[in-house]
Amino acid sequence: MKKVLYVIILICLGHPLFSQNLAVDSALFEQQRRRVNTLLDERSRKFEEYNISLDQKTGVFGIFKTKGDMQKSIDILKTIVINDNKIFIEARKLLDLKDVEREKFQTLATEFDTQVTAYMKTISKLQQENDKFRAKIKKLKNEGQSGNNMFYISCFIIATLGFIIFRQRKALKSQKVTKV
């Protein structure tokens, strides 16, 4: 019974539609994950630029920061904030994909569970019918043997009666011959 269940599950998992859907979902998830990782790498690079820009001093004799230096640092910070917003959006998409994937797996698991339950019920029903047929065959064999036994007994009785009648006729004939 368990072997049949395993075979059914393996067939379902190996089904082309099932594996194709998994490949598409996994590809989308991986693509989205790469986008988030790219944005995170870009943020790290921009933050390094920001740290460098904080240390830059192009003012008089390299002692003071100029307005341009500060503006450059502010611009880098703005790009970091914009990048952070993109990271939040893409991360949200990634989480949504993960949720959709989880729901799809739950739905598939429920469907497979329903199918397996239906298969198990069908197998159980077929086993019960098989048992009934075996019992019927056994009963018919027994009836057939008892019918054969009755036939043999009837033949024996007829033969015996025939022999007795034959002997009595012979005895009657021999008595008639002796009387005459």
Residue in the structure block whose two tokens are 């914009």: 82
pLDDT digits over 45-66, tens only? 998 988 888 888 777 666 677 8
Q: What is the pTM of this model?
A: 0.48
Buried-state track 156-180, b at ≥16 Cβ within 10 A, e below 16: eeeeeeeeeeeeeeeeeeeeeeeee
Q: Please answer whether residues 122 and 64 qualify as being in contact, where contact means their C-beta atoms are separated by less than 8 angstroms.
A: no
Task: State the pLDDT at residue 17.
Answer: 45
Residue in the structure block whose two tokens are 């739905």: 107
pLDDT digits over 101-146, tens only? 889 889 999 999 999 999 999 999 999 999 999 999 888 877 766 6
Comparing 149 with 111, the larger pLDDT belongs to 111
Task: State the pLDDT at residue 5.
Answer: 45
Domain boundaries defined on the chain: 2-154
Q: Please answer whether residues 80 and 47 qualify as being in contact, where contact means their C-beta atoms are separated by less than 8 angstroms.
A: yes
- CA separation for the pair 112, 8 (Å, rounded): 9
Q: Please answer whether residues 67 and 44 qualify as being in contact, where contact means their C-beta atoms are separated by less than 8 angstroms.
A: no
Give CA 57 to chain center in angstroms. Answer: 66
Question: Of the candidates 36, 25, 27, 20, which has an alpha carbon nearest to the alpha carbon of residue 99?
Answer: 25
Q: What is the CA radius of gyration of the chain?
A: 48
Question: Three-state DSSP class for 89?
Answer: helix
Question: Of the candidates 21, 34, 26, which has an alpha carbon nearest to the alpha carbon of residue 91?
Answer: 34
Task: State the pLDDT at residue 113.
Answer: 93
- Taking 50 as the threshold, does the pLDDT of residue 79 lie above it? yes
* One-letter amino acid for residue 57 of the chain: K
- Let me know how long the chain is: 180
